[in-house]
Amino acid sequence: MQNTMIYRLSLTMTLFGMLATVLPGCQSPTASTEPVMTDSTAVRLITLDPGHFHAALVQKSDNPEIDSVVQVYAPGGPELDAYLGLIKQYNERAENPTHWKEEVYTGGDYLDKMIADRKGNVVVLAGNNRQKTEYIKKAVDAGLNVLGDKPMAITPANFTLLEQAFTDAAAKKVLLYDIMTERSEITNVLQKELAHIPAVFGEQHKGTAKDPGVVIESVHYFYKYVSGKALTRPSWFFDPAQQGEPIADVGTHLIDLVQWQCFPDAVLDYKKDIQVNAARLWPTPVTLSQFTAVTKKDSFPDFLKPFVVKDSILQTHANGEVNYALKGVHVKIIARWDYKAPEGSGDTHYSLLKGSLARLEIRQGKEENNQPTLYVLPAKNDTAYAQALQNAIGTLQGRYAGISVEKVANGWKVVIPQSFKTGHEAHFGEVMQRYLQYLKAGKLPDWEVPGMLAKYYTSTKALEIATRK
């Protein structure tokens, strides 16, 4: 215990000393916008208007590279209370408690106050998506790094502003990055790995609009548990103008996976490499009693009244489908929301990559005990292919110790040790760790910014097409 206290005191003094060289002690709203230091040993978080529980998940674990004092700027209210409640829960848990100290400002000028104070160097954004792109732009203009939850843009106009924010971030030498947790899910990781082993996958089928080479579908649920407790969602979560349509919200995860898995390290040009062909939206009905169970509100607010039918059913903008081509590969993604998952299950993910030698398929149904499971389904399931697959798995075991394959009816199931199945909430810490490495290096990988632009162009262009109908 004494050694821990000495370490934390030493770390805090080191962080304070390093930050003192770059952060003025007192600033006005017209403060300098010189970039804040990006040395990962001096990371100090600023949480801005945390309206989504993802803001707290970034802090679910302690990190020795991040100062334990976190600055919070937000309007007061239940959303801030929910965020602080989760942080308190993490601090007080019996196993591996965290040690965050939240310094909270709730004045009406919270955004200007954050920029004037400049008490940190990384702004964490997870909340109302109608304001998020503006928050991003202002934080970047102030010379602050930004780690933003998805989506960073929910309309074509937002995309234009986001593109300018990336230009400004490059000029100011700060890092703007979004939280893509699905890259940390082990079945997605191994699907990507196998897709780039020619002896196993062959070449990616380009497919057609009717028979795409890549299909990904996710199903999320309004009623869910976070860190062991039933989640209370804000009423605006059901408003497409504030949360975003499903294509522009959850759809960004799926678009990101396509880019990351099929074209890793490729510097994409959204003006040349993407053709959005079709998109559509459809609602999920939510009753007033279901809405109350999720939001703790006993009536629909006025901004949701245009979507209410029969006085008690909210036609929630919850489902979307996009058909597009990425560098000639035809892709279909579907993002859906239902009210509550069947007992014993949760959010689900389906992914299919079609290769000339095999299909790589992630399923998460009853047969898989509701757990994401990766299958290798070869076109020619003979002894030679079995040996090639075993050789590939043997090579991958160097990085993913203990993985293996098990014969099934029409191919192989990839068996993954439990230690790799860290879960969705843990993935936020893994994203943060990657971001800290980028801060330490002073730059993102060359493909990341073009990839983010390609992703948000695809989602917002698809939304434009869907709503045009």
- Reported as a pLDDT band with limits 50, 70 and 90, residue 343 is confident
pLDDT of 1 > 80? The answer is no
Please give the average per-residue pLDDT across 9-27, as a whole number: 36
- Reported as a pLDDT band with limits 50, 70 and 90, residue 250 is very high
**Angstrom distance (rounded) from CA 292 to CA 289:** 5
What pLDDT does 33 receive?
Answer: 43
- Reported as a pLDDT band with limits 50, 70 and 90, residue 469 is low
What pLDDT does 227 receive?
Answer: 82
What pLDDT does 7 receive?
Answer: 36
pLDDT of 398 > 90? The answer is yes
- Reported as a pLDDT band with limits 50, 70 and 90, residue 376 is very high
Query: What are φ and ψ of residue 107, in 5° steps?
Result: -70, 160
Take residue 366 and report the two structure tokens written for it.
Answer: 């009853």
What pLDDT does 218 receive?
Answer: 96
What pLDDT does 226 receive?
Answer: 86
C-beta of residue 246 within 8 angstroms of C-beta of residue 284: no
What pLDDT does 228 receive?
Answer: 85
Q: Please provide the DSSP assignment of 289-321 as one string.
A: HHHHHHH--SS--GGGGGGEETTTEEEEEEEEE
Q: Which domains does the chain have, with CATH numbers?
A: 2-179 (3.40.50.720), 183-468 (3.30.360.10)
Higher pLDDT, 229 or 91: 91
Q: How far is CA 300 from CA 245, 292, 313, 427, in A?
A: 19, 9, 10, 33
pLDDT of 170 > 70? The answer is yes
- Reported as a pLDDT band with limits 50, 70 and 90, residue 17 is very low
Whether omega for the bond prior to residue 151 falls within 30 degrees of 0, making it cis, is yes
What pLDDT does 346 receive?
Answer: 86
Higher pLDDT, 381 or 26: 381
- Residue tagged 């993802």 (tokens): 54
pLDDT of 288 > 70? The answer is yes
Higher pLDDT, 294 or 40: 294
Please give the average per-residue pLDDT across 45-70, as a whole number: 95
Q: What is the average pLDDT score of the chain?
A: 91
Query: What are φ and ψ of residue 57, in 5° steps?
Result: -65, -25
Percentage of the chain beyond pLDDT 90 is 86
Please give the average per-residue pLDDT across 444-452, as a whole number: 98
Instruction: Report the chain's terminal Cα–Cα distance, integer Å.
Output: 63
- Reported as a pLDDT band with limits 50, 70 and 90, residue 25 is very low
Q: State the Cα angle at 165 between 160 and 171, rounded to 5°.
A: 135
Query: What are φ and ψ of residue 367, in 5° steps?
Result: -60, -25
The three-state secondary structure class of 86 is helix
**Angstrom distance (rounded) from CA 74 to CA 163:** 25
DSSP H helical segments within 102-143, as ranges?
A: 110-117, 129-141
Please give the average per-residue pLDDT across 357-379, as a whole number: 96
pLDDT of 23 > 50? The answer is no
C-beta of residue 349 within 8 angstroms of C-beta of residue 365: no
pLDDT of 39 > 70? The answer is no
Which of 352, 155, 311 lies closest to 245 in space, CA to CA?
155
Please give the average per-residue pLDDT across 427-453, as a whole number: 97
pLDDT of 142 > 90? The answer is yes
DSSP H helical segments within 237-344, as ranges?
A: 251-262, 270-273, 288-295
Of the listed ranges 12-26, 105-119, 259-273, the least confidently predicted one is 12-26
The residues pairing with 342 across neighbouring beta strands, listed in sequence order, are none
